[in-house]
Every structure is written in C-alpha cells, then in structure tokens.
Chains A and B, each alone.
Chain A
C-alpha cells in the first residue's frame, strides 16, 4: 500500500470515527454526560443486527433499517430513565452509572454471545474495490460508509442549526434553566439528544460490523477510545470539529500502520496526547474549554 492510499483510507475511515464520536459529543454538549458505555452500545447494535439477520434472513445491508430506529427509541428511554436519574444526583453518578452499564453490557455479551468475534456478512461487497491508477485501491464499502457518515453529519448539523427542535437542543445545552423558563421540558430535549446519540452510534456500529469484525470487548478496547480521541482532537462544540478529528485520527492511524502494523492504534494515541498538550481545546474550537 502506498502512502497516498494510506491517507485516503484514513480519511474514509475517519468518517466512521466521526459518526462514532458525534453521539458522544452531543451527549456531553447537551447534558454534560460522558457515556462510558458509548462504544459498547455500538457493539450491542452489531450483535442485534446479527440476531435480526440470523432470524429474518434479511440481507445484512438492510439490517440498519430495523436496528437504528430501535436504538433511537432505546436511547430516548434510557436517557429519560437511567441517565436522568443519575444526572439528578450528580456528574459523578452519571460516570459511575454509565461505567457500570458498560461492564454489565460487556459481560452480558460475553455470557450470551461468547468471546468469539463476528462480522456482519454483506457478501461480495466487502472485497469490492475501486482501482485508481496502480497504487490506489479504495474499498467500495469504505467509500459508502464515508458518504453515509458525512450525509448523516450534515443532516445532523442542519437539524441542529435550522429546525425548531434543534434550536431547543442548543438552547438547553446553553442554559437548561432559561430554556425551562421559555417553556421547554429539558428532560424531553435530553431524551431527543439521547435518541440521536444512540441512533448514530448504532449506525456506526453496524457499519463497523460490516467493514471489520467485532467482539464483546471491542467497545471499550477500541471504539470508545477512538470516538473520544476524535472529539478531543477535533474540538468540542461543533460537528465539523468531530469530522475533522475523526479524519485526522484515521489518517494518523493509517500512517502509523504504514510505518509498522503494530503502530496503528499507538499512533492515534500519541497524536491525541500531543493535542492534549499543545491545544487541549481541540483543533477547531475557538474558546479554550475542555
């Protein structure tokens, strides 16, 4: 693989990372919750899709039609019940509860699905690729995933900036009490944000499951950390920041892999550390908040 190829790969996979990250970023931006179970939710989505496919024999590519809405609804419910209850206590409690949730999910998956890794079989699409010149080979699937991710992020950005509900979400994120005084039930708005977060992470989990393989612990081993790194690198406060962060992380990881296959994840971690040291607010944020 050439360097150019690596960079292109990195950009494309960065879109997926951004899709992972946007839910994490949204939940933190709106309700100040860090969902430590975020990565595990993606894995659960992938396992759910696996189950759905096994039972209904629907082609894997269509599984998201069922799984994503289910997860969005689940997100609303979990936010309004479990996470709201923890929020009413304190920030510490939300961390502990989501951490507990993460452990419970992983061990439940280990219990019911075994530690083997699986993949969502989408048939020949996995290995199809576009050839550009002699050096550049782009996997179709990855390209599709990238496009989907960007479209979703664009849609989300549009929703937040131009719709009434999006405006309410931003208002509640700015000042929850003032939003109440304007008639907004912030718990409902939190629920919507939770639904979006769960829905997007489910979509990302399915995409990941198609492109790569998953097992019960990968949610915390990789996905959560990647999502988090993308957010920190890109900067809080905007979806574009998350996209930039995701792409940069992807590119750095692929470059690292070029240097040596075992360097992939470490390269990403080191860049994350660098940003932390040099510009903790992230690349795109203007204010120095972290």
Chain B
C-alpha cells in the first residue's frame, strides 16, 4: 500500500501481522508531514514554472539569482555538511562553467546546449583538482581550494580569446527575442535547481546517503565501519564541481557577459557558505531556507551597500557559534519535522500507523510516533562521547 505523493516510496514493514492482533513495529521512510511537503513542493514548482507568463522580467531575473545561489548552497552543503570538505574555492567551478559556455558559444554552440557540457566539463576537471587537494586536511584543504580558484583565474586571464582581463560577452542569442530569452533563462535556472535538489535528495536517500550521513555525524566512526570515506568524498567533490559549473553556466547566460575577477570571486563562496550556515548545514532543507533568508536580508539591506555583507557575515558567525544546526535546525528540532525524508521512522509496536486518507488527516492528541532513527547530531557539534 503506497501513500500518495512522490516521497512515499520504499516502505518496509518489519514483521507483517498475520491478521488481527496489535500492529507490529514498522519502519517507514516518511510520514504525514512529508506527504504534505511533497504535494506542496510539486505545487510550488508548477507555479514557479508558470511565472514567466505572470510577472515582469525583473522578478524572473531576481529569481534566477535565487535559484543560482540555491544550487550552489546545496552543493556546498553536500561538500561541507556531509562529506566534511570545507571548500572556500567553489568559485573555481562557477567561473569555469561560465567560461566553458563562452568557449562553446565562440564556436557557434548554442549556450543552452553549452550548459550540460559545462556541467560535464566541470565534473571532469574536478577529478584532477580533487587528486591535488585531497592530500590536505581540513584547514589547509580550505585554503588550497581558494588557491585553485585563484589559479584558474590567473590562467583564464592569459587567453585573449576569452577576453583576457577585461572579460567577454556571450554571443549566440542575437536572434532571440529578449522576452523569450529571459523566460528560457529562467526555466533553465529553475530546471537546474530542481534537478540539483532532487539529485541531492536521491543521493542522500540511497546507500551512498547512508555513508554520507554517517560521515556527517562522525567521520572516524564511518571509516571504522568500513565506509569508503575517501572515495565518497571524491565523488561528492566531483558532484559539487558539476553543480557549481551548472550555476556558473546559468550566470553567464543570465548576464550575457563574463569577467574573470567577478567570475572567480570568493564572493560566491561567501554567499553559498553564509546561506548554508544560516539556513542549516547538514540538512537538505537548510540551504534552501538559507537562500531565502539571504535574499530577504539582501532586499532589506540593499540600500546600505556593503553593510549588508557585514551584517550577513556577523549573522553567519553568530549562527555558527550558537545555533550550529542553523535556522532550519532550530525549526526541525522544535517541531520534529523533516520535509525531505531521508531517514527512517520507527512506529512502535501496537501503534496504529495511519493509512490512506487517514494519513492526510491531522492526528488527534495522543501518542505521537517515535522520532526518526537517524542520529540527531549535526556536523557542528564536535566529537561525540569518548569511546569505551
């Protein structure tokens, strides 16, 4: 028996009752709130899809920026929140993605076709980069990623065909109606962020996700359980490179030009890090929420210029120190909700798990199902209890 919504696949009963008698303990992957969330998400995506027909291009352009940051934040969250790789150099791939699209368009390839190529290209480049930086541990790893981004920029600048130090503009859209271009860009950005978030969700739901969650909670413990930590980290690094490449491709398509200092700017890292930290590192919902908060802050502080980044930085520091699970962490712990079901829920024996339409109805006061079986510590909580 499957419940509606795309989130309810894969339920497993431990011992099905032979008929009559109390309900046995059951283990499922989702519960009532996630069904609502899944329906809600579907509705939101559909509405977003229709937006170009409904609103002015200013709004869609703004939303493109939101989607781009959401993509990057989700990738950084996967890197740092799950794989334990704190990178401050993802801008290397953001810029690279943009420049791949540029190169292709210079060779008469439609930029929207260049997008998947940019994704693949960044993934490929990610491999040797990973091989280089994986030799370093946490702190030095972080600066090394920064150095790599700086190197990318220094290399790109030497190619006049790419515009050298002053940058270049993107060709290939001359014949396209501007309104259509805005709409296509918007849909491309929407597609990227939806695919990325979906991809992250599916990864975390899979066996790989189990390894990643174990690594999130305790890397040493994960290693000693036999998880292939370095290989998993390498995989995540490449995925993050590809994801940031996609974001970079959207950026150049949306801005129609690219300039090396801006394309490889550490500002991208700052934005994706702050969004993830404030939203909640180590959860799928965190980067999404964080991006929304980020842009809300930006809107309200925009007139104060660089103040907005100062405030953002201070807020991020405060959150990292005092609310390490982020805003989403606070919400999730308080209300016990999880929108993307990647864990397992234990319904104790003897308890009636609502099925069918009953599942959609609000449960009356009384016993609530037991919380998810995942460990509830986040990555920022430091080492667990000492062994032995």
Contacts and interface: CB of A to CB of B under 8 A. Distances in A.
Report if A and B touch in the complex (beta carbons < 8 A): yes
B82 to A, nearest CB: 12
A267 B189 CA distance: 37
A224 interface: yes
Contacts of A110: 306
B111 interface: no
A247 to B, nearest CB: 19
Interface stretch (A61-69, A168-176, A191-199, A273-281): A273-281
Interface in A16-73: 28, 32-34, 36
B142 to A, nearest CB: 6
Given A86-B320, A273-B132, A276-B135, A34 B140 contact: yes
Given A36-B143, A107-B309, A273-B151, A100 B132 contact: no
Contacts of A94: 139
A99 interface: yes
Interface residues of B, number: 46
B19 interface: no
A45 B154 CA distance: 28
A232 interface: yes
Given A111-B306, A229-B147, A100 B314 contact: yes
A93 B274 CA distance: 12
Interface string A81-103: 00001101111111111011101
A228 B179 CA distance: 47
Interface in B112-157: 132-133, 135-140, 142-144, 146-147, 150-151, 154-155, 157
User: What band does the interface of chain A fall in when counting residues whose beta carbon is under 8 Å from B?
Assistant: 35 or more
B316 interface: yes
A272 B273 CA distance: 26
A96 B316 contact: yes
B273 A96 contact: yes
A242 interface: no
B380 A104 contact: no
Interface centre among B84, B277, B313, B380 (most CB of A within 10 A): B313
Contacts of B140: 28, 34, 228, 232, 290
A228 B154 contact: no
25 contacts: A28-B139, A86-B320, A90-B379, A91-B138, A92-B86, A93-B320, A93-B380, A97-B317, A97-B321, A100-B320, A103-B270, A103-B310, A104-B310, A107-B306, A107-B310, A111-B307, A225-B146, A225-B147, A228-B140, A262-B157, A269-B150, A273-B151, A276-B136, A290-B137, A290-B140
Interface of A: 28, 32-34, 36, 85-86, 88-97, 99-101, 103-104, 107-108, 110-111, 220, 224-225, 228-229, 232, 262, 265-266, 269-270, 272-273, 276-277, 280, 290
Given A85-B321, A266-B151, 19 more contacts: A32-B139, A33-B139, A89-B320, A89-B321, A90-B324, A90-B379, A91-B139, A92-B80, A96-B317, A97-B317, A100-B316, A103-B274, A104-B309, A232-B144, A262-B157, A273-B132, A273-B151, A276-B133, A280-B136
